[in-house]
């Protein structure tokens, strides 16, 4: 597709992409919840109309300077915001390699995966209020930690802050009723689009607090997402066959239509004072065991209602090679080795480090990207 708008070579956002986002010039902010809440045919109609208006063949904007100046704004002139009012946020645990790695570290090879892991998409409810847009700095969290060789916990700043390479999707379509479920055959009608996600973690706080109910303060201090929601229609050419699941999923989780995506992902770290971003891992979204449709079908099978703007995270996306592990916990193997970051090394994230997650798909000369998912870790606040 060709647009009359000049798009730089290698841009994440050609006419084939057209992501949705919320921005302001000066003051003001809105959200996409109402648009997300429309039925999927409305999303497709809007996308087709926007592509038509921006195409080189259409004269509506191309030859109307006054209208074009109102409709088009330079990205360098705007401030990006969260794309939606996030009412609820759920994080899954859907990468078999990540779950296996963490299981080996803490339980050994014989008990790496918990008995339920291959039967259902494991997840937990996160904190929506601390989901922030790319570019928002976060402070190192405070909390309780306990070393193995002492009898009582201590309070202070986390020493083991980590990133988690994730993606997430925003729920769309009309709000479902309490007691209603989304059938897996209809799940795509409620998957609006995807963003990159860094679900920051404090591993030492997490280790002490997570039994018996799971993550709490170790996760809720901040989750970074990219500002642009890439639509599923834009990602459709990059759908690939689903992973082979053994045992076969129960009927309510079974679907044969491809809904796994070939999205290249990487994480970079830029230390304080360094001009360069240094890549620490490469992974791919296809490394997930459970699909987005399965996550949504399972989430609602008990009658949990979903609202436009709800956010569902994939969980850390790790691949089979050491260079594709999606967290410092894995890359440093629980701190037993160092990870090269330019001229220095890391075991976990240090104050002043800026972490960025990047993702793109490429096929037939078309590149679909997601932009930046950046966050800088600041020193802990003083009590």
223 known member of a binding site: yes
- Which run of H or of E encompasses 33? helix 33-36
Identify whether the C-beta of residue 362 lies closer than 8 Å to the C-beta of residue 123: no
- pLDDT value of position 28: 67
91 known member of a binding site: yes
Identify whether the C-beta of residue 82 lies closer than 8 Å to the C-beta of residue 131: yes
* Residue 1 scores a pLDDT above 90: no
* Residue 300 scores a pLDDT above 90: yes
Backbone angles phi, psi at 335, to 5 degrees: 85, 10
The tens digit of pLDDT for each residue in 62-119 reads: 999 999 999 999 989 999 999 999 999 999 999 999 999 999 999 999 999 999 999 9
Shortest CA distance to 88 belongs to which of 309, 241, 302?
A: 309
The mean predicted confidence, pLDDT, of the chain is 97
- Say if residue 212 is preceded by a cis peptide, omega within 30 of 0: yes
Shortest CA distance to 141 belongs to which of 76, 214, 204?
A: 204
152 known member of a binding site: no
Q: Where are the alpha helices (DSSP H) in 121-243?
A: 203-209, 217-220, 232-235
* Residue 26 scores a pLDDT above 80: no
- pLDDT value of position 274: 97
Size (the chain), residues: 383
Mean of the pLDDT values across residues 283-289? 98
Write out the two tokens for 127.
Answer: 């904190």
The tens digit of pLDDT for each residue in 309-362 reads: 999 999 999 999 999 999 999 999 999 999 999 999 999 999 999 999 999 999
206 known member of a binding site: yes
- pLDDT value of position 100: 98
Four-CA torsion 239, 243, 244, 250, nearest 10 degrees: -90
* Residue 27 scores a pLDDT above 80: no
The tens digit of pLDDT for each residue in 144-157 reads: 999 999 999 999 99
Residues 18, 13: Cα–Cα separation, whole Å: 6
Identify whether the C-beta of residue 171 lies closer than 8 Å to the C-beta of residue 310: yes
**Residue 331 burial by CB count (10 A; 0-12/13-18/19+): exposed, middle or buried?**
buried
Annotate 301-324 with b (16+ C-beta within 10 A) or e (fewer). Answer: beebebbbbbbbbbbbbbbeeeeb
Instruction: Give the residue numbers annotated as catalytic, written as ranges.
Output: 98
* Residue 383 scores a pLDDT above 90: no
Identify whether the C-beta of residue 182 lies closer than 8 Å to the C-beta of residue 173: no
Shortest CA distance to 164 belongs to which of 232, 83, 95?
A: 95
219 known member of a binding site: yes
Q: Where are the alpha helices (DSSP H) in the chain?
A: 33-36, 40-54, 65-71, 96-107, 203-209, 217-220, 232-235, 292-300, 328-331
* Residue 277 scores a pLDDT above 80: yes
- Say if residue 247 is preceded by a cis peptide, omega within 30 of 0: yes
Four-CA torsion 85, 368, 183, 40, nearest 10 degrees: 70
pTM of the model: 0.96
93 known member of a binding site: yes
Backbone angles phi, psi at 292, to 5 degrees: -60, -40
- pLDDT value of position 29: 85
Shortest CA distance to 289 belongs to which of 332, 320, 321?
A: 320
Q: How many CB atoms lie within 10 A of CB 213?
A: 8
Write out the two tokens for 208.
Answer: 């002490």
Percent pLDDT > 90 in the chain is 96
């Amino acid at each position: 597709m060709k647009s009359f708008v000049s798009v730089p070579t290698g841009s994440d956002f050609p006419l084939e992409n057209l992501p949705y986002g919320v921005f302001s010039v000066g003051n003001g902010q809105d959200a996409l919840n109402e648009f997300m809440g429309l039925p999927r045919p409305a999303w497709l109609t809007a996308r087709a109309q926007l592509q038509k208006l921006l195409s080189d063949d259409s004269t509506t904007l191309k030859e109307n300077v006054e209208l074009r100046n109102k409709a088009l704004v330079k990205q360098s002139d705007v401030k990006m915001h969260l794309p939606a009012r996030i009412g609820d946020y759920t994080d899954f645990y859907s990468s078999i390699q990540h779950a296996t790695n963490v299981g080996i570290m803490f339980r050994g090879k014989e008990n790496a995966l918990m008995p339920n892991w291959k039967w259902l998409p494991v997840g937990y409810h996160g904190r929506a209020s601390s989901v922030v847009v790319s570019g928002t700095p976060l402070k190192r969290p405070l909390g309780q930690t306990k070393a193995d060789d002492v009898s009582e916990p201590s309070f202070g700043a986390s020493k083991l802050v980590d990133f988690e390479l994730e993606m997430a999707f925003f729920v769309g379509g009309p709000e479902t009723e309490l007691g209603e479920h989304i059938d897996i055959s209809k799940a795509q009608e409620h998957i609006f689009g995807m963003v990159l996600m860094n679900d920051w973690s404090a591993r030492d706080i997490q280790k002490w607090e997570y039994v018996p109910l799971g993550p709490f303060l170790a996760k809720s201090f901040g989750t970074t997402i990219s500002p642009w929601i890439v639509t599923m229609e834009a990602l459709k050419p990059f759908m690939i066959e689903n992973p082979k699941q053994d045992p076969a999923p129960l009927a309510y989780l079974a679907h044969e239509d491809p809904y796994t995506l070939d999205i290249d992902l990487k994480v970079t770290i830029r230390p304080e004072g360094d001009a360069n971003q240094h890549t620490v891992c490469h992974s791919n979204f296809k490394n997930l065991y459970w699909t987005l449709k399965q996550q949504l079908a399972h989430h609602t099978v008990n009658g949990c209602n979903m609202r436009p703007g709800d956010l569902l995270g994939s969980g850390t996306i790790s691949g089979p090679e050491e260079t594709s592990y999606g967290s410092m916990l894995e890359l440093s193997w629980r701190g037993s080795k160092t990870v090269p970051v330019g001229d220095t090394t890391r075991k976990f994230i240090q104050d002043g480090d800026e972490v960025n997650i990047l993702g793109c798909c490429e096929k037939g000369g078309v590149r679909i990207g997601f932009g930046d998912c950046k966050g800088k870790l600041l020193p802990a606040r003083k009590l």
